[in-house]
Amino acid sequence: MLSARHTAVLLQLLHLVWSVTDGSSSSGTPPAPLVPARPPRTKNGPRRAEQVELLKLVKPGAMNLSCVLDDFLGATPDTIRVSWERDGVEIAQSEVTVQRADGRYSLRKEFFIERPGNYSCIFRNDTQEVTKAFLVTAPAMKEVRDKPVVGYVRDSVVLTCKIHPAPPAWQWYKVNGSEKDAVNTTAEPPRYKVTDKGEEVALTVMNLTEEDSGSYLCVALYLIAPAEGAVHLRVITFVEPLKPFLAIMTEVLLLVSLIVACELRGRTRAAQATATAGPENGRNVSGGEKAWPEESNGVEEAATRQRKA
């Protein structure tokens, strides 16, 4: 079989060909060995095994990020080099060498984080890398409704947003095409009212018109970065629910008239029957209020009774 050195040269050649066709430049890191089980499709060559941790921050501040690795892809060399990256760009002069201690490699570094980003520590040896990433973001809006809130013309409607923890300030925008306009709460006559309840904010839109339909953005102004949520408003006139209302009312009126008509028909039929049959059969049918002869049950019972009486 090929010696290890031959293999390495062959792979380097292959990598070169590959990166040229890819159009991207190698970052100078050594090529990864071809292992049949896993396709090495990383642009930068070295295979990375990633762990990701999500961090939610509300304001800029110092954060201690600590990376711990039990073993480096199965191997346990005595020392390992670790460097830090922010958003894919290596932080200058951040590479240190870590000794293996207590069965693991651990490193901690304090960062002053000003804005959201992807902070990662990269453990590397000559051929491979293992990274652990910290995704720093602002909190996300809770309970975002995808269905629109419905309001009526000339009525008012309340749009709400919830987030945890409570931001220092809230801001509302109305989306107009591709732009957003800040909601003006001071215009006369008052059309918008913002109620800030810390973790929850409510925008009351009064005297609705159909132009008020659309998307509204509630923005929680955290110091680190704003967090957005979208609420959709649909303004309809009262004609819309009136349609099913009138439909059901028509159905009710039809039913009532049907029932009354059937009964009147039955009574006239019974009155005719008693008029022809004479008084013995019609003990129940004098007056207009009885409807027994209408149903077959009643007729049978009446006949039975007459026989047994």
Q: Which residues bind another protein (CB under 8 A)?
A: 147, 149-152, 155, 157-158, 160, 195, 202, 236, 238, 240-242, 244-245, 247-249, 251-252, 255-256, 259-260, 263, 283-284, 286-291, 295-298, 301, 304-305, 308-309
Indicate if the alpha-carbon torsion angle 283, 287, 291, 296 is positive or negative: positive
Indicate if the alpha-carbon torsion angle 135, 137, 139, 143 is positive or negative: negative
User: Minimal CA–CA distance to 86: which of 153, 134, 42?
Assistant: 134
Minimum CB distance to another protein smaller for 20 or for 264: 264
For residue 287, the minimal CB distance to another protein (Å) is 5
Q: Which two tokens stand for residue 284?
A: 């129940």
For residue 52, the minimal CB distance to another protein (Å) is 29
d(CA 175, CA 308): 84
User: DSSP assignment, residue 96?
Assistant: E
For residue 235, the minimal CB distance to another protein (Å) is 10
For residue 154, the minimal CB distance to another protein (Å) is 11
Minimum CB distance to another protein smaller for 221 or for 245: 245
Pairing of strands 226-236, 149-152: parallel
User: Minimal CA–CA distance to 55: which of 119, 101, 6?
Assistant: 119
d(CA 192, CA 156): 10
Q: Residue 217's beta-bridge partner residues?
A: 173, 230
Minimum CB distance to another protein smaller for 210 or for 263: 263
Q: What is the CA radius of gyration of the chain?
A: 40
For residue 115, the minimal CB distance to another protein (Å) is 34
Distance (Å) of CA 302 to CA 140, 179, 241, 284, 296: 76, 81, 49, 8, 10
